[in-house]
Amino acid sequence: MRKILLLVVGAIIWLVLAGYNNNYTEPAQEAVTNITEENQSELEVEEIEKPDVLSDEFLLLDNQKKKIEKAKESQDVQEGIEPVQLAIPAIDVKAAIENVGVLDNGQMGVPEDINKVGWFEPGFKPGTKGNAVLAGHVDSKTGPAIFFYLEKLSKGDEIILTGQDGATMTFVVTGKERYPYDDSPIEKIFGPTDSRTLNLITCVGTFNRSKGTHEERLVVSTELKEDDSDKKEQVNPDEVPDAPTNLSVSGNFLSWHAVRDENVVGYRIYKADAYGVYKQIESVSNLERKSFTDPDASSSSYYVTAVNIFGNESAPSKKITSDE
């Protein structure tokens, strides 16, 4: 499982941005900042697993199958893309994207070409929940570089990324901020977040010759674009259904009330064994009667769970036996 040390990522790339200015004839590199075991454990991020769609277990209606496809599309977004091309129509920018990582000597590489953009590959992928980061030069000794006009972007302007497989993602500018080159909110720019954010960074402000860098860093924040149709049909693969209610046992029959949720596709029945351990004994589709026949029902204990189109299972219902 992939783990990301965000604080290191932020510190590295922010330091490297000192090289995105007009005083460097070669790519600048900065040493990696040490990190303690304490903040390492706080900043580890796990990748999201795909939802388990249980089409083999339950009979599905056509509309439920369509929602499952939407769930898959949503999950593809959660996985993000590895960007290879950047386009910013508002400032007429088209550029190849180069993966940027940490070298064997503990330093970070940057694009050699001032007209390319660097994506810090060990960080978040664009399209995932978190702050993905692209960085580019503002200028060089010979003139403007790829992000020379980045500060001209306004809210609503679009950033278009193309992935290795040709898939595209569009991000919309939500704001921009300037920060002193040596005093920036690393966690805000590089850290985890519930939104699917892409931050574009370059140098701005007066060039400080004694320090060999511009005085400020510009951060343009963007979020993944969702059109109106996506919002209307939006699905949440993390959604967990409510537990079934009103369980009852009568003779050889166990029954329960359906969960009023259009995304529920079925129910799982659990029965206690001789040691009181509950084990699944049956699956019932939402299209079938909400009941189960068991010759031992009068002397057994059960609970039932609901399962939705994303494969998520509810908490157990209230346990029931024949004398309740």
Residue with more model confidence, 199 or 184:
199
**Residue in this structure with the two tokens 């706080």, named with its chain if needed:** 42
Query: Does a structural domain hold residue 219?
Result: yes
CATH code of residue 89: 2.40.260.10
Residue 97 has pLDDT above 50, yes or no: yes
Query: Does a structural domain hold residue 143?
Result: yes
Residues 191 and 297 in one domain: no
For 4-46, the pLDDT digits (tens) are 444 444 444 444 444 444 444 333 333 222 323 333 333 333 3
By percentage, how much of the chain surpasses pLDDT 70? Answer: 73
Residues 124 and 35 in one domain: yes
How many distinct structural domains can be found in the chain? 2
Query: Domain residues for 148?
Result: 6-231
Query: Does a structural domain hold residue 239?
Result: no
CATH code of residue 315: 2.60.40.10
Residues 166 and 221 in one domain: yes
Q: Give the pLDDT of residue 292.
A: 95
Query: Does a structural domain hold residue 1?
Result: no
Single residue among 231, 254, 271 that ends a domain in this structure: 231
Q: Give the pLDDT of residue 31.
A: 25
Residues 141 and 285 in one domain: no
Q: Give the pLDDT of residue 285.
A: 94
Query: Does a structural domain hold residue 294?
Result: yes
Residues 52 and 188 in one domain: yes
pTM score of the predicted model: 0.59
Query: Does a structural domain hold residue 236?
Result: no
Helices (H), the chain: 6-16, 37-43, 62-79, 186-190, 228-232
The pLDDT of 139-149, averaged and rounded, is: 87
What count of other Cβ atoms lies within 10 Å of the Cβ of residue 279?
A: 9
Q: Give the pLDDT of residue 63.
A: 77
For 235-249, the pLDDT digits (tens) are 677 789 999 999 999
Residues 13 and 103 in one domain: yes
Distance CA 129, CA 115 (A): 28
Residue with more model confidence, 230 or 207:
207
Report the b/e string of 89-128 with b at 16+ CB within 10 A: eeeebebebbebebeeeebbebbeebbbbbbbebbbbbbb
Residues 249 and 187 in one domain: no
Residues 306 and 273 in one domain: yes
Q: Give the pLDDT of residue 205.
A: 72
Single residue among 202, 231, 260 that ends a domain in this structure: 231
Segment among 35-39, 68-72, 217-221 with least mean pLDDT:
35-39
Roughly how many angstroms between the first and final C-alpha of the chain, as a whole number? Answer: 46
CA distances from 124 to 81, 177, 188 (A): 10, 20, 13
Residues 186 and 309 in one domain: no
Q: Give the pLDDT of residue 7.
A: 45
Query: Does a structural domain hold residue 237?
Result: no
Single residue among 231, 263, 288 that ends a domain in this structure: 231
Residues 297 and 223 in one domain: no
Residues 152 and 183 in one domain: yes
pLDDT-based confidence at 66, cuts 50/70/90?
confident
What count of other Cβ atoms lies within 10 Å of the Cβ of residue 36?
A: 9
Q: Give the pLDDT of residue 214.
A: 65
Query: Does a structural domain hold residue 238?
Result: no
Q: Give the pLDDT of residue 137.
A: 86
Smallest CA-to-CA distance from 16 within 131, 87, 106 is with 106
Cα atoms in the 13 Å half-sphere on the side-chain side of 221: 14
Residues 58 and 86 in one domain: yes
The pLDDT of 265-279, averaged and rounded, is: 95
Strands (E), the chain: 83-88, 93-100, 117-120, 130-136, 139-140, 143-144, 158-163, 168-180, 196-208, 213-224, 245-250, 253-257, 264-272, 278-285, 291-293, 301-308, 320-321
